[in-house]
A and B are shown apart, each in its own frame.
Chain A
Amino acid sequence: MKLDARIPAGPLAQKWARHQFEMKLVNPANKRKHRVIVVGTGLAGGSAAATLAELGYEVESFFFHDSPRRAHSIAAQGGINAAKDYQNDGDSVFRLFHDTIKGGDFRAREANVYRLAEVSLNIIDQAVAQGVPFAREYGGHLANRSFGGAQVSRTFYARGQTGQQLLLGVYQALERQVRAGKVRTHQRHEMLDLIVVDGRARGIVTRNLVSGEVRSWLADAVVLATGGYSNVFYLSTNAMKCNATAIWRAYRRGAGFANPCFTQIHPTAIPESGEHQSKLTLMSESLRNDGRIWVPKTKGDGRPGNQIPEQERDYYLERMYPAFGNLVPRDLASRRAKDMCDAGHGVGRTGRGVFLDFSGAIERLGREAVEERYGNLFEMYERITGENPYRVPMRIYPAPHYTMGGLWVDYNLMSTLPGLHVIGEANFSDHGANRLGASALMQGLADGYFVLPLTIGDYVARTRLAPVADDHPEVRAVETGVRERLTRLASLNGSRTVDSIHRELGRLLWDKCGMSRSADGLREALERLPELEREFWENGKVVGSGTGINEPLERAGRVADFLELGELMCRDALAREESCGAHFREEHQTPEGEAKRDDRRYTHVSVWEFEGPDTEPVEHREPLEFEDVSLSQRSYK
């Protein structure tokens, strides 16, 4: 596997402009001769499909929901970063770039991140023009809020529903192209494999989730915008259907998988309430703007938060990180919460929770102002827990939320498989070992609106693509493989539901490959995972057949892939003998318990190549070079 990041030459600030000029163009009249498959309709996939169609390409858009508007980007709450510097507080493209690189603990590519910061400006313009109703000040101009990992206010927001409003903008742009006849949407279709012909990605095989029909679709290029894999942990803040199948199948077809162990645990989710729990609900990081995090100084203090006097509270983030306080990056906030609970200071029935307290903010700003900023989040909290956060402090606990790892892509967002492009959370590119808040929406839209639609033109223009016939042997072979696997899954007739095996997988990964990892724990997980996989295939149970709506069958395929992916995550976590960002190896910490990087040995991206079902994957490395920032120990004190 050859890893050529194709980073353009020249000074950092001129790379993208220069690259745009150097890329080959497709004549407008020729664009309509090229068909592009886009899988997923979240911020990345939806914006890419709409923009490619505007440019003139023929676009086939696939999604497993009933409507493109349901993609999980819809659930993003807090906001989207952009270096507009509307607050005149010293922000700039370079500062956003620098914060993102530093927040990612120096494990992302400089050139990609700089481009992200540059196009962040265009994203806000685009969204506003589409009618996205961002929060505004009384003068009618756009408002901003602060977010973790930054000391400037650069986050644009629409109450706690920023993802929803941005996604509706994307969805509407997409529907406009449907009306124009340039995008054909395929709802309730799930991609189950990738078709590779002569070394190039040329199509996908889908299952129609209503009829059960399995069929192939061919194109000149394939774009995966299928999101992250936090659901490997079973309980996460992701929607129930989020899964890794599309990227996992592509990995098995030859696309390199980068940094699979970089998984983000979000500090502020509502704690688990019982065995029936199906998912965890996030409380936006923006709450940390005005909420103060604390635990009782006395271990096992069972009193309700509002009855614990001020002097008996430990505002541990403010104590440990006076400069950033409650706004430290996510990995730190999560790990410190875990430390507090492990030390016996946790609150709530399970002892796995810390307080997020708004009483000070309510006193300072008034209830109305707090309601205006966070009203819908408070309502959501009350609905789930039955507690009123205006009166008692919220209880929060970390939860799997986002995956920085994903398919490896070059500067053009193309994977190691020519023709296969990967955008949004599904790729690995911009967040290094830890993503800053309000940067996922930015990356999804940067990739989909402003980067991929141009780079895909370069690929199409430079590549001579012979037509592939519907009955090409490779196409038939992939289709047959998908059918056989579905039959095998549908005939599982043991005694355990797929969900119960998924729950066991999740617990194992959370314990051994979650917020903190050790060599012994990871080795243990690597021993147990193949057993669990065997358990799945020998003792799993699926009812119904491959025809018609069959959710247990859909889930079975996803869980089978999660089982394999879990193994790769542990392998990657074991190979990375350092702590960085969200990847915390217990063996590698400073005396104060902070992550200790090993820049000499690990300033690289780990890229895994599939070698066959019973063979260990091979690790390749893309060295990371830093020319415009100096590597430093992250300090938020």
Chain B
Amino acid sequence: MRITLHVWRQAGPDAPGAFERYDHDDVSPDMSFLELLDVLNEGLIEAGRDPIAFDHDCREGICGSCGVMIDGEAHGPHRGTATCQLHMRSFEDGDEIWVEPWRARAFPVMKDLVVDRTAFDRIIEAGGYISVRTGSAPEANATPVPKPDADRALEAATCIGCGACVAACPNASAMLFTAAKVAHLNLLPQGQPERWSRVLDMVERMDAEGFGNCTNHGACEIACPKEISIDFIAWLNRDYLRARRRRSG
């Protein structure tokens, strides 16, 4: 396959960026998109040029490290697929592909396609956990959890924290990310004691990080490599309102 890439190059957080063009004549359809970047980078290094920086690690679609905008779509054209799992057979011979970093105020660009996503860690830090000390857990089967609840919690918990939802959203909202964690924990009996403070604290942190709000575009659900449903956002809103009413008493 012949593929032309236009890749966003930016030397550092405050440097101006621009697209650079790279032509490749010998692309195997069995290559993953990141393997194409690898091959491109090997060529750049051999030529003594600075390779394209991008985050990646497991290449199995689970660590959440990778993620770029491909022709304006987060993680590219394939539904339910992280960038590392996207293969070149999804493209046509002769395609021109535009590659950009996630763009959001809360995810500043560090270099080329690498962005800073530590805002997500701070949202989890604000309450995305169940407070249980090591050693103080009761016997695991002491509290049965209805299977539908456990399954639903797992659906939410499959979030890999890649940030595609934010990148896809016109408001750069982190509602799907936050909702997924709130729902995962608040759906389970173990999550009940901290249910109301959790949702308030996490939403507050999310706002403070500079993410926008949800206006029901639904772009996040389409971009999500784990296909997490925006129903969870409705769920988050409901829990948030209930928590607010409780707080105001």
Residues in chain A within 8 A of chain B (CB atoms):
47, 50-51, 54, 65-70, 72, 74-75, 84, 86, 122, 124-131, 133-142, 158-159, 161, 164-165, 168, 171-173, 175-176, 178-179, 185, 187, 210, 239-241, 273-274, 276-279, 281-282, 379-380, 383-384, 386, 449-450, 453, 495, 497, 499-500, 541-544, 548-549, 551-552
Which chain A residue lies CB-closest to B128? A172
Beyond A276-B35, A380-B85, A543-B50, whether A141 also contacts B62 by CB under 8 A is: no
Pairs A–B under 8 Å by Cβ, sample size 15 = A66-B118, A67-B161, A164-B160, A173-B129, A178-B121, A179-B125, A278-B34, A279-B59, A379-B80, A380-B61, A386-B30, A449-B135, A495-B46, A544-B50, A552-B51
Partner of A133, one of B110, B111, B117, B184: B184
B132 A543 Cβ-Cβ under 8 A: no
- On chain B, the number of residues with a Cβ less than 8 Å from chain A's Cβ atoms is 80
B134 A140 Cβ-Cβ under 8 A: no
Judged by a CB distance under 8 angstroms, whether B89 is at the interface is: yes
Residues in A neighbouring B50, C-beta threshold 8 A: 543-544
- Considering only residues 122-140 of chain B, those with a C-beta below 8 Å from chain A are 124-126, 128-140
B190 A239 Cβ-Cβ under 8 A: no
Partner of B81, one of A67, A158, A383: A383
Which chain A residue lies CB-closest to B39? A276
Judged by a CB distance under 8 angstroms, whether B214 is at the interface is: no
Partner of B150, one of A51, A136, A453, A544: A136
What's the Cα separation between A212 and B122 when bound, in Å? Answer: 24
- B93-101, B151-159, B231-239 - the one binding chain A: B151-159
What's the Cα separation between A456 and B41 when bound, in Å? Answer: 44
A-B contact count (CB 8 A): 218
Against A, the Cβ 8 Å flags (1 = close, 0 = not) of B154-182 are 10011011000000000000000000000
Beyond A130-B132, A175-B129, A499-B42, whether A277 also contacts B153 by CB under 8 A is: no
Against A, the Cβ 8 Å flags (1 = close, 0 = not) of B22-38 are 00000010111011101
Residues in A neighbouring B140, C-beta threshold 8 A: 84, 124-125, 127-129, 142
Judged by a CB distance under 8 angstroms, whether B211 is at the interface is: no
Beyond A75-B62, A131-B184, A497-B45, whether A178 also contacts B125 by CB under 8 A is: yes
Judged by a CB distance under 8 angstroms, whether B188 is at the interface is: yes
Partner of A75, one of B12, B63, B125, B137: B63
Partner of B58, one of A86, A134, A179, A239: A239
Partner of B111, one of A74, A499, A549: A549
Residues in B neighbouring A544, C-beta threshold 8 A: 50
Residues in A neighbouring B85, C-beta threshold 8 A: 380, 383-384
What's the Cα separation between A381 and B39 when bound, in Å? Answer: 23
Partner of B110, one of A165, A173, A210: A210
Partner of B154, one of A54, A125, A128, A165: A165
B147 A136 Cβ-Cβ under 8 A: yes
Residues in B neighbouring A172, C-beta threshold 8 A: 124, 128-130
What's the Cα separation between A277 and B31 when bound, in Å? Answer: 7
* Shortest distance from the beta carbon of A538 to any chain B beta carbon, whole Å: 16
B147 A551 Cβ-Cβ under 8 A: no
Which chain A residue lies CB-closest to B31? A276
- Considering only residues 51-69 of chain B, those with a C-beta below 8 Å from chain A are 51, 53, 55-65
Residues in B neighbouring A158, C-beta threshold 8 A: 154, 157
